[in-house]
Amino acid sequence: VVARVAATACIGASAALAWLALRDPAEPREEDARYAAAIARLPDLERAQATRVVLVKRFLSDADLAELDARLAALLREPLGTFSRDANGVPQLCGAPWETTYLHTNGAFARACPDLRHRLLALAERVDAAEGWGLLGGDSVGSAEKLAPRAGACGGAQLRTVELHRVLPGGALADRRHFDGGSLVTVDVLLSRPAGADFAGGEFCTPELDGTMAVHAGFERGDALVFVSHKPHFVSPVTAGVRQVLVVEFWRGEGRVCPH
């Protein structure tokens, strides 16, 4: 998926279909057409970088967090996809400081947390509309068209991935050019207390178009950060404790249930 997204992230639906035809000599399938339509909505990287990260305070209350902790404990007993990496993003078999668990594996998150799934989608759509991104709505108009090109019908917004990130000391998302390729809107919900309570370090940062580096302070347990997925971002090294974040990415393709 990553390679396919990298090859098609900034091209239109017709070009994406042409590329898919080259990839597979067989006649393009309906699934490929839906994928190409979803890819065609991806925003230009420079315009995505110009957008802001929206901090939503107390998206999850203490009661919400307690309930989510219990549901995650049950979810993590299921056979879910996982990925471990070192501070440089190199995959590791074990002992790595950054572990990602793919909660959407086999539809597990949607079954276990249907209300939260709905709330996350509603939040993403609300911020998308308020900021004028036009990425998740059915019709993009005005300035939104510049960010999200109009494309063929590809269904409503769906969960592309739901990930639990558990980061130990030394873990970091070090690549300052990183973006969530192929997705439209990303929501990060912090599940741990920062500033030394549960962890230290691990600050969410974004390189801005003017050359500055924005450190998004004030991101606390229960808060959500909502941003255009193609906006570059990184996370500074965790220096103590354990940083846990729920990362949810939306797109206008099919809801994914694969273990990655």
Is the domain of 137 the same as that of 48? Answer: yes
- Strand ranges across the sheet with 234-235: 213-215, 204-207, 234-235
Is the domain of 22 the same as that of 141? Answer: no
What is the DSSP-derived secondary structure letter of residue 91? B
Provide the CA 63 distance to its chain's centre, in angstroms: 24
Is the domain of 24 the same as that of 103? Answer: no
Q: Are 151 and 12 in contact (CB under 8 A)?
A: yes
Give dist(CA 195, CA 100) in Å, integer.
Answer: 22
Answer yes or no: is 256 within a domain. Answer: no
Confidence band for 37, pLDDT divided at 50, 70 and 90: low
For 197-202, what is the mean pLDDT? Answer: 97
Give dist(CA 155, CA 251) in Å, integer.
Answer: 9
Answer yes or no: is 259 within a domain. Answer: no
Give the dihedral sign, CA 115/258/233/73: positive
Is the domain of 131 the same as that of 160? Answer: yes
Is the domain of 103 the same as that of 31? Answer: no
Answer yes or no: is 202 within a domain. Answer: yes
pLDDT-above-90 percentage for the chain: 67
Tens digit of each residue's pLDDT (9 = 90 or more) over 103-122:
999 999 999 999 999 999 99
Is the domain of 140 the same as that of 172? Answer: yes
Answer yes or no: is 18 within a domain. Answer: yes
> Could you give the number of structural domains in the chain?
2
Q: What domain range includes position 144?
A: 44-251
Is the domain of 29 the same as that of 51? Answer: no
Answer yes or no: is 257 within a domain. Answer: no
The per-residue pLDDT of the chain, averaged, comes to 85
Cα separation values, 119 from 4, 71, 96, 255, Å: 30, 16, 32, 16
Q: Which residues pair with 201 in a beta bridge?
A: 238
Q: What CATH number does residue 232 fall under?
A: 2.60.120.620
Tens digit of each residue's pLDDT (9 = 90 or more) over 4-16:
333 333 333 333 4
